Amino acid sequence: MAKLILKPLPNFDLLPKNPRPLLIKIQDSKVNVLVEIETQQVSSAKTDRMTKVAAGVITQYRDVITDTVKKVTEGWDRMPLAEQRKSAETLNASIKKAMLSLEGAIEAAVKQQIQREAQGDKNLLEARVHVVIKGTAKVIAIGKDVAELAVSGGANVKAWISLASDIVALAKLIHDQCKKEPTLRAELLKAIGVYCSTKQRRWDEKTKAKDWKAKAKLLAKEVWESQKSLATKAEAARKKYRNEITVMIHKADDMGAKRDKLLSELNRSGDINAKSIAKGGAMMELARAAGTLNTQCLQCQDFVDDMAMLLTENGIQVDDRTALQKLQKLDNLGDLVALGKLIKTAADDLKTIIEKLA
């Protein structure tokens, strides 16, 4: 197993503005977090995703500590000095306790993300097996890694072009998948929206029914039969969306591994032009776009989890207006279509620059 080392938000200040430095005494509110993960595959994409998860927890703790200090100290000007000191002692203890619990919170969040991605892999495997049984499997092959370059062999432009070509192929697949995401998201939201609306409407009909003892049993059966197919469609749409996002994460990891390998080979070649490409705009643009993709994938995973929770909530009577408000809020996940195009363009530009070395 390879070891992944994360250093999210180095030298991060959990209390950047101390409103009462004479009363609030924190020896050092700056933290440096080190996270170690054992994984089968190490790539810049996976590192970036896990780092963002950890950074999110750190930022959340910073916001909680800052808001707590602000609220507690607002009334201090009207307090006698003795009461200020007593309140300050309690506040200092609370802040220190929060800082001590930060480590456990980060560990829990990273473990949850690892489990979420592992579960996504299992679900995708199950879906693929199911598809294969139906005889509609669609397989897209990517060329194998080029043979390891000799350390003392100098520049190997052919090998670099091969790696760049693999990156372009993966970027194209990501681009194609990004174009599908808005449609899949819309289908999922529509399916859940129809299910929620129908459920509420049927419930209203049931509550208004006269002679309810005689009609409730029959109506409950009708409600279940009509809603069951809608619920099945909603869950099927959610699974379809979930599996697409899992595939996208796999491709992002593969592209990250290829980029890492190419970057390493360019830097160790000793060739001035190769090193220039490694630090150039095309390589940096690809890295930035890939980082944004990781952020979007994390948001998409949260979206899938929220949809699952929404379906669970609708297993009992809920306020349909609340459900619809949630759907409207969750609809804005950013433009993956434009991002996919940006990744493909950056990969194409990088390949073009490397080919000029031949």
pLDDT digits (tens, 9 = 90+) for 82-99: 888 888 888 888 888 887
Could you report the per-residue pLDDT of 36-89, keeping only the tens digit for each? 887 777 788 888 988 999 899 999 989 988 888 888 888 787 888 888 888 888
Q: In this structure, are 168 and 126 located in the same domain?
A: no
> Are 269 and 162 part of one and the same domain?
yes
Q: Is residue 145 part of a domain?
A: no
**Do 177 and 275 share a domain, yes or no?**
yes
Which stretches of 135-280 are DSSP H helices?
157-208, 212-268, 272-278
In a domain, 161, yes or no: yes
Does residue 226 share a domain with residue 87?
no
Domain boundary among 81, 96, 131: 131
- Asked if residue 161 and residue 103 are part of one domain, the reply reads no
d(CA 43, CA 262): 12
Residue 270 or 129, more confident: 270
Q: pTM of the prediction?
A: 0.67
* Co-location of 220 and 262 in the same domain: yes
Residue 191: pLDDT over 70: yes
> Which pLDDT value is given to residue 59?
92
- State pLDDT tens for residues 200-210: 776 666 666 55
Mean pLDDT across the chain: 75
Question: Residue 250 falls within a domain, yes or no?
Answer: yes
Which of 115, 131, 147 is the endpoint of a domain?
A: 131
Q: Give the span between the Cα atoms of 10 and 319, in whole angstroms.
A: 44
Cα 214–220–225 angle (5° rounding)? 140
Domain that holds residue 218: 157-355
Q: Which residues of 128-166 are buried (b: 16+ CB within 10 A; e: fewer)?
A: eeeeeeeeeeeeeeeeeebeebeeeeebbbebbbbbbbb
**Tally of structural domains, the chain:** 2
Is the C-alpha dihedral spanning 302, 308, 312, 318 positive or negative?
positive
Q: In this structure, are residues 54 and 21 in contact, taking their beta carbons and an 8 Å threshold? A: no
